[in-house]
A and B are shown apart, each in its own frame.
Chain A
Amino acid sequence: MNFIGQALIDAILLGGIYTLMVMGLALSFGVIRIINFMHGEAIMLGAYGAYWAFALYGVDPLLVLPLLMMLGAAAGYVLFKTTIAPVLNAPHENQILLTFGLGLILTNVALILWTGNERSSNPPYTFASLNFGDIVVPVSRLLGFSTAAVLIGAMFIWLKYGELGRASRAIAQDRDAATLMGINVPHMYAFSFGVSTALAVASGAICSFIFAVTPFMGFDMLVKGFAIVILGGVGSVIGAVAGSFLLAFAETAVAYYVPNGNGWSEAVAFGVLFLTLLIRPYGIAGRPAAG
């Protein structure tokens, strides 16, 4: 029995989904230079949003996704301006603890409101799959991958050609120089955070029909997310893509070829994180510049 083809497909599809999950994290690292420990909760809330839309109103998660993204962007913007902007210039401990605390609040609000029971939205395509010879491609994952690809592609185009996208890249490279261009940097920070949140929420909506939705899914994603971003190179958007696929491949390989692999795949991220920080702390696309 040949697993390779199936493993490959699984890894690629997973990689795309992971990319969407961490892209916002990479963006907020690169532009705002903050450490966002509640990024996972944005994913979690997106997942619950899609779930409830489906469970209560029968709306397909992919259809409600744009609305969720807009809500996420607005919420991210407001949250940033009110709670995070004050600690931007504070010692990093404050940033870490503040965002960790916010994540804790969101996780437990979700736990209280919706209990810890696993959920998922089940639009019709969750049960469908395409067969190519021996290889089974679940339609849900394919759709998730495609949606992620579209969103990531749009983001790259925006970064490259959009006015605000270009401004974001400028801020990431030299914040003062960006200010001298007439860019309102504090506003752009909040805006970038909004975009980050929107991307995370979108990935959550996709997760709702692929993975189990629980209040803790955000926290579970945290170590993975950071492992990916660090592997790819902190602040590098391309690196985040590379890191996502690399982690997805590593996890899939472990799941297929290591006995009991499925359980161990959780620890793969931790291993990747450690190895990266030991061998090449600035990641694949990062520069060994000032820390």
Chain B
Amino acid sequence: MTDTFEKPPEDISMLQTLINHLVRDRLALIGIVLVVIITGSAILAPLIIPHDPNKLNVRHRLKGPSSEHFLGTDQLGRDVFSRVIMGTRVALKVALISISVAGSIGLLLGMLAGFGVKWLDNSLIIFFDTIRSFPTIMFALTVVTLTGPSLNTVILVVIITSIPVYGRIVRTQTQAIVNNDFIMAEEAMGAGKIRIILVHILPNVIGPLLIIASMDIPVVVTIEAGLSFLGLGVRPPTASWGTILNDGYSFIRNTPWLVIAGGAPLILTTLGFTFLGEALRDVFDPKLRREV
């Protein structure tokens, strides 16, 4: 309705829109702050931690929070704060590696399925559905039994179970885009299939994929914590939020701070990345931006 002014619209950059948006949207701001704190502490973990996270000190076991130990100590006398910070590294490492690998593979397969020939689409969909039909935990248990628990196992499990999720999303997006006039316009101009995929489909599917991927980070973090809690993830003594939770679980009546110390970062990560993802969606979805 207001789009007919013959003046070119002001050139508002994405960054500026993001900033404008953040000023208005408090939740997004909280999200950004949380994400910065979480990633910051993961990167700078060795500099932040006051104690060696794996150093035993049996005399100081299960101590409450103090100025020496911000979050107290666990049953082996290790500094819980240091372990939580080191756990951030593990959590983000698993999340980032597995989501970026799964995202890239899913993106490629999804675009091929959505744009490619029918038989490729059909076989990819069967492939996706086969993987998806295994419950994640059962699948993880199987893999762990075969290979033994390790961080790499967790990453592998998450990658394999996430590819179909991203693949399907990208495929649906691609199919919606392929039916647009602008793809036919490209074909009419003589553009080849590879050019159409790279120049015209990719930029349109990558945005939504990034948003979903960023919202998936807390999901993967939770999966990693869950597997580690069950003893299927990182091996002791490496700190992970899941193992901290597991350690604290046995002493929940007397020393609740252990469970809180393991659980709070999980909650904050979930909130932070979800708020951020929602803010990104609002900013990068051109349909929403078009509204005045």
Q: Are A and B bound to each other? A: no
B residues adjacent to A (C-beta < 8 A): none
A residues adjacent to B (C-beta < 8 A): none
